[in-house]
Structure 1
Amino acid sequence: MEGPAGDRPGAPVLGALRGYRAYARRWVFLLVLSLLSCSNATLWLSFAPVADTIARHFLLSTEQINWLSLVYLVVSIPFGVVAIWALDSVGLRWTTILCAWLNFAGSLLRALPSMVVGIQDPFAFLMGGQSLCALAQSLVISSPAKLAALWFPEHQRAMANTIGMMSNPLGILAANVLSPALVKKEDDITLMMVVYIIPAGLACLLASACLWESVPPTPPSAGAAHSTSESFLDGLKLLARNKAYVILAVCFGGGIGIFSSFSVLLEQVLCVNGYSDEFAGLCGALFIVFGILGALALGLYVDRTKHFTEVVKVGFCLTSVVCVAFALVSQLRGQTAALAAICSLLGFFGFSVAPVAMELAVECTFPVGEGAAVGLVFVLGQAQGALTMVLLTSLAVRRAEPSFSTCRDGQDPLDWQVPALLMAGLSTVFSCCLVLTFHTPYRRLQAEARAGPSIQDQSPVADCAPLLQDCP
């Protein structure tokens, strides 16, 4: 662990003598990280809800528009390992600041084709900006678990992780709502670009001005005092040999891939059967809103009960059922109410377990650093997401345009029946694998139980107990 509390060999002992302490400025760090994650997610999916209009304005194909989102998955695979090392070695503060500047620079670069007249190859600028934002995503996506472990006491970790992680789907929600609302015609694309620059710039300013240190002077828990006690390479070796972690990483990484593909391709799947961009945006919004509500409820629940494994397994099973329902109903016309309900349930059961799964990854791998434990799950998820999206789009065959299609990209609409069924099948396979084979002890909680009372259990007398002779 980087910083005052982690550079000295006697830091854990000193922390125990002082008593664990939670600092109020942890909420400022969480606010900055949440805003940064939210901004990055809006930049990721800002094009997807209005893919047909973007394609027509910049003279791009549907495949090129899909690559503006897919590049997030591709770039983060090799750079994700660097991000893991940065979090556990360079420190949370500098990693967050670098992430904020990459995100802001990317938002500016991708806006140039719509703001500067005469650019010959707009796709190069769009892809360049998205690539910088993709680098930023690799840094920010694993940070909430690290922040929660280093700055928050045991009884607030799951909720802090939930707030930080759910900022990402909140950004996806904003993109699904704002993009269709802002882009009614091609001339509105410039306005959309400028709107998305504002939160990126604000996050960059706050990260540079308000983050002073990577770790608190005194740790909030025994787990924080011993965080990242393994070196980077040794930690990776331990992760590779941890059967429970490998199963969780493969299954949850597959879930990340499925949900990433769902978010990117939702508008294209629905427009074929006569649903408007606005309705696709509404479905994406419901997907995120109910995911956030479910995550907040589960965060409170697991902070009290510590039932990480049970929550994740039940959430996976229910998500698979809803995925099957989406695969069937999305191919029918006039099912707006059913599709809205299905997207709501898909978010409520699927998105909501993400923060709990990340906490579970840290629990089953302690004392490996949180950056490595969570980061590798996301790297694997991005790799699976890229493969899943390429596979789904390759299986979507063109058909004669029916009269009820609302797709406006000037090409024949695609038949998404087989890709939707494949997505449901993959979700079911991952759920069965997780339920049947995943079992793990909670190593971090066990270590904290052996170390002594946590911060929420300590009374003033307990705080003074180690130094009782010095107390008045």
Structure 2
Amino acid sequence: MTDSKNIDVCGSVMDGVAEKGGVLESPSKKAPKEYQVFPIRWLVLFVFVFYSASNSMQWIQYSIIQDAVVKYYGVSSIQVYWTSMIYMITYIPLIFPASWLLDKTNLRVTTIIGSFGTCLGAWLKVFSVPQDMFWLGFMGQTVVAISQVFILNVPPRLAAVWFGADQVSSACSVGVFGNQLGVAVGFVLPPILVRASGTIEEIAADFRLMFYLVAGFTSVLFVFILLFFKAAPPNPPSAAADLGNSLDSNFLLSLKKLITNRNYVLLLISYGLNVGAFYAISTLLNQVILTYYPGANADAGRIGLVIVVAGMAGSVLCGLILDKTHRFKETTLSVYVASVIGMLIFTFTLDCGYIGVVYLSSILLGFFMTGYLPVGFEFASEVTYPEPEGTTSGILNAVVQVFGILTTLLYEWMLGSVGDRWANLTLCALLAAGAAITAAIRSDLRRQAAQNNHKG
């Protein structure tokens, strides 16, 4: 048990009950239930952040150095892009059993499974360095992609299980931050480590170094998770979490309720359009940048980094705004509209001839488009409460993968057929449609209502 001196107290507490750093028993027979948040929650959250990053950093690992992979392994560009899209394809059928497992077991069990798979896939890539072993690297990438189903739907669940009502949105945004951190590293590290202009022997040595670094990192994290990652605190942190824990969980019934929830279905579509556009740009960024700035391989990676890092800042800021204001629909719609504007600016500055301008437009695009991720998660948790957050976010991410595959394939085809200007304008149109759909969602904040009823 945690010492009471290390316990923060939230929820309803009788006058005269709370003292410095501790809680005394109330003399009243009908004292409201007290909710505690434990300091270890931050360790659990940050272990998850690095675990999530270790998986997502491998998503774009091949695509961002597509020219080097094609040169070294002798494969086609589309085969390289499939190393990114395999993340989306495996997620769609596997998220349902993964959500069921999270619902029936706990965060620790699913996190250990996901971490082991991420580590195993990374080690398979270590043995894929010979030029005729691209298939083994693709197999390792597939194992890592399968492990992703135990990660993407966790942030809202982890936030609800471990954090109080005044921190849950911020905690969710930090959890999503882990995925973005990994994507950022995935954008910037491979172009630095792998020299596309090098000899075959030099590229082989570069691949070997990159794969060993990732495998070592995932191995250390797996040990940390075994030692430090806990399933849940001894006591629920909020009234909403307490009520959620007390309800009997029925996975199929939850699915039925979710797909008949109008607000949730609209959010699925709008969220899918936004994140699908982000996936398309990320997967094909190397090709788009090299079209206007030949030889700017490292810049392509850095621009991807800028997009994601700006999104990380946007995520955290949006989480803080949600915790302070609880204006979920207004925040979601504002960020979405700003994403459309950011995409338009990116589209019309891409060919300006000054790559510094592309960096600046990427900051704006990333801040809002990537910053939207935790906002959508939290809005989904609000309009579907008290359905399990893991199931809610799992379906949300499954729909995202479908949109991601379709949008990426459309974007890739349009880049080759009509050029980047029309391809990017198509993404702008999709985002505008998503903003209109978001405007049609009613602000039905069920989790906030449960928390307010407790306070009343």
TM-score w.r.t. the length of structure 2 is: 0.88
CA deviation vs aligned residue, 1:401-429 (integer Å, no higher than 9, x gap): xxxxxxxxxxxxx9433322221221111
- Other-structure match for 1:171: 182
Give yes or no for contact 2:60–2:283 (8 Å, CA) kept in 1: yes
Which of 136, 142, 147 is the aligned partner of 2:158?
147
Measure, in 2, the Cα distance between the counterparts of 1:277 and 1:304. Answer: 41
- Other-structure match for 1:303: 323
- Other-structure match for 2:450: 447
Measure, in 2, the Cα distance between the counterparts of 1:274 and 1:349. Answer: 25
Measure, in 1, the Cα distance between the counterparts of 2:244 and 2:140. Answer: 35
Which of 192, 200, 217 is the aligned partner of 1:199?
217
Q: Displacement of 1:329 after TM fit?
A: 2.6
Paired residue secondary structure (2:58) = helix
- Other-structure match for 2:76: 61
Paired residue secondary structure (1:45) = coil
- Other-structure match for 1:277: 297
Give yes or no for contact 2:332–2:376 (8 Å, CA) kept in 1: yes
Paired residue secondary structure (1:21) = strand
Q: Does 1:292 align with 2:312?
A: yes
| Greater Cα shift, 332-341 or 314-323 | 332-341
Q: Does 1:189 align with 2:211?
A: no
CA deviation vs aligned residue, 1:53-98 (integer Å, no higher than 9, x gap): 0111111110000000010001101111122112211211100110
- Other-structure match for 2:93: 78
Which of 322, 328, 340 is the aligned partner of 2:342?
322
Matches within 5 A, 1:344-363: 344-363=363-382
Measure, in 2, the Cα distance between the counterparts of 1:253 and 1:347. Answer: 16
Measure, in 1, the Cα distance between the counterparts of 2:182 and 2:102. Answer: 22
Which of 408, 430, 435 is the aligned partner of 2:434?
430
Give yes or no for contact 1:20–1:218 (8 Å, CA) kept in 2: yes
CA deviation vs aligned residue, 1:2-40 (integer Å, no higher than 9, x gap): xxxxxxxxxxxxxx8652111122112112211111111
Measure, in 2, the Cα distance between the counterparts of 1:170 and 1:34. Answer: 8
Q: Displacement of 1:215 after TM fit?
A: 2.0
Measure, in 2, the Cα distance between the counterparts of 1:195 and 1:45. Answer: 16
Give yes or no for contact 2:173–2:315 (8 Å, CA) kept in 1: yes
Which amino acid in the other structure matches residue 292 of structure 1? M
Which amino acid in the other structure matches residue 440 of structure 1? S
Measure, in 2, the Cα distance between the counterparts of 1:338 and 1:294. Answer: 20
Measure, in 1, the Cα distance between the counterparts of 2:172 and 2:39. Answer: 16
Identity %: 28
- Other-structure match for 2:407: 388
Which of 71, 90, 109 is the aligned partner of 1:94?
109
Measure, in 2, the Cα distance between the counterparts of 1:141 and 1:194. Answer: 25
Which of 215, 218, 227 is the aligned partner of 2:232?
215
Give yes or no for contact 2:275–2:369 (8 Å, CA) kept in 1: no
Which of 259, 275, 278 is the aligned partner of 1:256?
275
Measure, in 2, the Cα distance between the counterparts of 1:396 and 1:336. Answer: 20
CA deviation vs aligned residue, 1:141-184 (integer Å, no higher than 9, x gap): 11111000011001111111111101111111111111111112
Q: Displacement of 1:217 after TM fit?
A: 1.8
Give yes or no for contact 2:386–2:447 (8 Å, CA) kept in 1: yes
Paired residue secondary structure (1:60) = coil
Q: Displacement of 1:268 after TM fit?
A: 0.7
Q: Does 1:180 align with 2:191?
A: yes
Which amino acid in the other structure matches residue 392 of structure 1? Y
Paired residue secondary structure (1:431) = helix
- Other-structure match for 1:109: 124
Query: How many residue pairs are counted as aligned between the two chains?
Result: 418
RMSD value over aligned CA atoms? 1.9
- Other-structure match for 1:457: none
Give yes or no for contact 2:414–2:422 (8 Å, CA) kept in 1: yes
Which amino acid in the other structure matches residue 326 of structure 2? K
- Other-structure match for 2:332: 312
Q: Give 5+ residue unaligned stretches, structure 1.
A: 1-15, 399-413, 454-472
Q: Displacement of 1:334 after TM fit?
A: 1.3
- Other-structure match for 2:26: none
Give yes or no for contact 2:170–2:323 (8 Å, CA) kept in 1: yes
Matches within 5 A, 1:222-237: 222-227=239-244, 229=247, 230-237=249-256
Measure, in 1, the Cα distance between the counterparts of 2:255 and 2:450. Answer: 20
